[in-house]
């Protein structure tokens, strides 16, 4: 049966629009016949399950199902996501209350939809005093209305209820952490406990939403992406090594919305504690390790829930990118996003997504900015080096005064960046080791490598694992030039004693990724 279903799914994907119409017509006719043969007892049982707030998606329930609503009750039997009418829906402790019963259901990842226009009379917990904010169609990648302790708070963006919401809208609601949590000079880390998304749609989604991803929460475009477009054949089926996370753990990491659209390092405060890691080093560890977990030899059926939830995050970030969000290099803060976007584009076999990623502005992903290829390094044979491009004066400022960024590339392209902290600071603590899983994913899935499209990254990770710091040959002296003209003062090298140190070391790594690297790289 599994082989038959897989064959049917492939046939649907390859069919022309006309052929798909014939296939679906026959399928719906057969489904209609099956429904007519369904016993009344089964119908009552399904209806009871819906009204008793059951759900196959953790954290999501419909409340107050109303069989007396003027538009009646519609239940899609045989679907993992029942469709019915309700006066409210609840997810992750957040409740959206409506003025009457509306058709509601869940998308493939478990998030709720409601057919609109819909009047939302209240959302609980209530927003007040700069806490637990709610936003309609987030589109601003700087300002935010969720918590006044987070940078760039803007209460004009707070969505007020009661209000009628039109189809094609996302209502993003947060719950703030308590007021007595530690607050730093730059805010909380993080300030939010959780967040959830309600999508207002024009009509009941295909298959009641059970076979489509939630439309992206960021921006005004709300396209549907189908789980039928996932090409599971692209995934390797590798024997497990080490101690991999379970598929349930992997799915739970991405079960809630990845609220990640604010630019800048202070955006760590926006990441809800229950939804995703706050710091980019952890984001990268989790996104990289999870992709490797999905490449193990579990069945497609067993992997599907985790893949759907992971790809949902990639879809969201892709539309953030399309609407101006970027994860610019800043130490370890903004790492880990690119792999989720690339994986979504590859698995969906979406050429537009792939093209947009490959042609994205240089500042879009921090991984692309931190690693570059220098033709003059390694005695002119070339070498991929770590660091971002800074003014020559800024580079030397850090060395001579101890102030300024610790991420500047060597302005002469001879050695790794970081200045006096070569091989340390952010190169060591928060990037190089974490990159390992992202590089391995590209080697194991050539389709990811093609769309990632930054070969210096792969060369650098191999070098860091096998060699460590690159600090020689270097003909510069540990003395800034008298004038910043792009020429170092000749000497015998700055930190040549660090050459080859710290191979395969650093923070935010993964023991599972280490085991996968040892087995498959």
- What are the structure tokens assigned to 410, written together? 């060597």
Q: Are residues 14 and 89 in the same domain?
A: no
Q: State the pLDDT at residue 106.
A: 97
H or E stretch including 120?
strand 118-124
CB atoms within 10 A of CB 202: 12
Is the per-residue pLDDT at 450 higher than 60? yes
pLDDT tens-place string over residues 21-59: 445 444 444 444 443 334 333 333 333 333 333 333 445
Mean pLDDT of 438-464: 98
Mean pLDDT of 230-259: 98
Lowest mean pLDDT among 176-180, 252-256, 316-320, 431-435: 176-180
Asked if residue 401 is part of any domain, the answer here is yes
Q: Are residues 44 and 24 in the same domain?
A: no
Q: Are residues 66 and 185 in the same domain?
A: yes
- What are the structure tokens assigned to 380, written together? 């002119």
Q: Are residues 101 and 148 in the same domain?
A: yes
Closest by CA position to 141, among listed 260, 257, 221: 260
Is the per-residue pLDDT at 11 higher than 80? no
Asked if residue 233 is part of any domain, the answer here is no
CA 417 to chain centre: 28
Q: How many domains does the chain have?
A: 3
Q: Give this prediction's pTM.
A: 0.87
Q: Are residues 173 and 25 in the same domain?
A: no
- Residues 16 and 71: their CA atoms lie apart, in Å, by 35
User: What share of the chain has pLDDT > 70, as a percent?
Assistant: 84
pLDDT-based confidence at residue 297 (cuts at 50, 70, 90): very high
Q: Are residues 383 and 428 in the same domain?
A: yes
pLDDT tens-place string over residues 454-511: 999 999 999 999 999 999 999 999 999 999 999 999 999 999 999 999 999 999 999 9
Burial of 401 (0-12, 13-18, 19+ CB in 10 A): exposed
Query: Which 8-state DSSP code applies to residue 226?
Result: B
Q: Are residues 79 and 21 in the same domain?
A: no
Q: State the pLDDT at residue 8.
A: 52
Q: Are residues 123 and 59 in the same domain?
A: yes
Mean pLDDT of 212-236: 98
Q: Are residues 140 and 190 in the same domain?
A: yes
Lowest mean pLDDT among 99-108, 178-187, 188-197, 469-478: 178-187
Asked if residue 360 is part of any domain, the answer here is no
Q: Are residues 8 and 116 in the same domain?
A: no
Domain that holds residue 158: 38-221
Asked if residue 257 is part of any domain, the answer here is no
């Amino acid at each position: 049966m599994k082989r038959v279903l897989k064959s049917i799914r492939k046939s649907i994907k390859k069919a022309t629009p006309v052929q798909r119409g014939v296939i679906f017509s026959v399928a719906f006719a057969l489904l209609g016949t099956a429904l007519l043969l369904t016993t009344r007892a089964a119908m009552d049982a399904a209806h009871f399950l819906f009204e008793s707030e059951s759900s196959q998606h953790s954290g999501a329930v419909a409340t107050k199902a109303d069989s007396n609503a003027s538009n009646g009750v519609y239940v899609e039997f045989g679907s993992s996501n029942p469709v019915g009418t309700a006066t409210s829906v609840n997810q992750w402790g957040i409740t959206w209350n409506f003025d009457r019963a509306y058709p509601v259901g869940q998308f493939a990842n478990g998030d709720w939809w409601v057919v609109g226009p819909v009047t939302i009379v209240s959302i609980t917990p209530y927003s007040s005093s700069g806490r637990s904010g709610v936003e309609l169609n987030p589109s601003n990648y700087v300002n935010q209305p969720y918590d006044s302790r987070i940078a760039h708070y803007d209460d004009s963006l707070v969505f007020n209820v009661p209000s009628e919401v039109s189809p094609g809208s996302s209502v993003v609601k947060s719950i703030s952490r308590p007021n007595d949590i530690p607050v730093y000079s730059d805010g909380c880390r993080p300030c939010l406990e959780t967040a959830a998304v309600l999508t207002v749609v024009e009509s009941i989604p295909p298959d009641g939403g059970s076979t489509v991803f939630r439309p992206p929460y960021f921006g005004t475009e709300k396209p549907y992406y189908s789980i039928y477009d996932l090409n599971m054949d692209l995934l390797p089926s590798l024997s497990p090594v080490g101690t991999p996370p379970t598929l349930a753990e992997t799915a739970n990491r991405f079960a809630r919305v990845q609220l990640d659209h604010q630019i800048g390092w202070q955006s760590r405060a926006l990441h809800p504690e229950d939804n995703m890691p706050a710091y980019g080093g952890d984001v990268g560890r989790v996104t990289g390790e999870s992709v490797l977990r999905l490449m193990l030899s579990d069945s497609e059926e067993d992997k599907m829930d985790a893949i759907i939830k992971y790809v949902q995050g990639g879809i969201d970030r892709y539309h953030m990118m399309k609407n101006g969000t970027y994860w610019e290099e800043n130490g370890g803060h903004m790492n880990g996003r690119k792999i989720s976007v690339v994986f979504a584009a590859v698995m969906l076999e979406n050429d537009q997504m792939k093209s947009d990623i490959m042609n994205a502005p240089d500042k879009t992903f921090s991984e692309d900015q931190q690693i570059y290829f220098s033709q003059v390094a390694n005695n002119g044979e070339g070498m991929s080096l770590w660091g971002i491009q800074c003014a020559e004066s800024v580079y030397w400022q850090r060395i001579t005064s101890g102030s300024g960024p610790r991420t500047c590339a060597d302005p002469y392209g001879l050695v790794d960046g970081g200045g006096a902290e070569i091989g340390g600071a952010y190169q060591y603590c928060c990037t190089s080791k974490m990159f390992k899983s992202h590089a391995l994913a590209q080697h194991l899935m050539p389709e990811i490598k093609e769309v990632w499209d930054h070969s210096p990254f792969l060369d650098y990770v191999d070098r860091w694992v096998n060699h460590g710091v690159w600090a020689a040959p270097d003909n510069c002296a540990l003395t800034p030039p008298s004038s910043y003209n792009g020429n170092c003062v000749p000497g015998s090298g700055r930190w040549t004693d660090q050459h080859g140190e710290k191979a395969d070391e650093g923070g935010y790594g993964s023991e599972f990724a280490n085991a996968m690297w040892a087995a498959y790289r």
